[in-house]
Amino acid sequence: MSRRFNLRQFQTDLSKRLQEAASLPAESSRLGFFAAGQNWLVPLSDIDEVMPVPDIMAVPGTKSWFRGLANIRGNLYAVSDFTEFISGKPTLDSAENRLILAHRKHGVNAALLVQKSLGLKQTGHQASSTADSAWPWAKPQAMDSGESHWNEIQMDRLLAESSFLTVEAD
């Protein structure tokens, strides 16, 4: 027989975790995700939401990494396959795939399709690497206590990058 779900305990635990997260400095909270065989971070202040992938309408005459447009609560978002954008290999469809919506402060309805979300990460536990980033819109790699490497997106720089903004096919 399956274990009974205790809603009251779940709500109490969730409330406690939210209070703990709210007490942390916002600039140290990052969302971790996996794309193109690498771990990535994005500051929570740079995103509005992480969500399962909705229906995406393809747009003819665009680069292969530009998946198309998605209607999210009545707003159209330009969806880019982040893995294919940086590696040339498309993200394989999976139930773990997520869309990361850029924060509205950037003035662009952009969404990144990623392979999976890895949850909240605190940057205080990471030591910066001396290696330079391969991308002008990413900070150099960091390593966490488990010796996993992380790249960090600078969303404002990515959304201003001409190679990211130019979606028409060659």
Give a yes or no: residue 92 inside a domain.
Answer: yes
Spans in the chain with pLDDT lower than 70: 1-5, 14, 17-28, 123-133, 141, 143-147
Give a yes or no: residue 134 inside a domain.
Answer: yes
Give a yes or no: residue 161 inside a domain.
Answer: yes
Give a yes or no: residue 3 inside a domain.
Answer: no
> What are 33-79's pLDDT values in tens digits?
999 999 999 999 999 999 999 999 999 999 999 999 999 999 999 99
Tell me what the pLDDT averaged over the chain comes to: 86
Give a yes or no: residue 155 inside a domain.
Answer: yes
CATH number at residue 136: 2.40.50.180
> What range does the domain containing 120 cover?
27-165
Give a yes or no: residue 1 inside a domain.
Answer: no
Number of domains in the chain: 1
pLDDT for position 25: 56
Give a yes or no: residue 14 inside a domain.
Answer: no
Three-class SS state of 100: strand
Give a yes or no: residue 32 inside a domain.
Answer: yes
What DSSP letter does each residue of 49-67 carry, written as one string?
Answer: EEEE----B--TTB-TTEE
Provide the whole-model pTM.
0.78
Q: What is the rounded distance in angstroms from the CA atom of residue 147 to the CA atom of residue 97?
A: 25
Strands across the sheet with 75-81, in order?
47-52, 98-102, 110-114, 75-81, 66-72
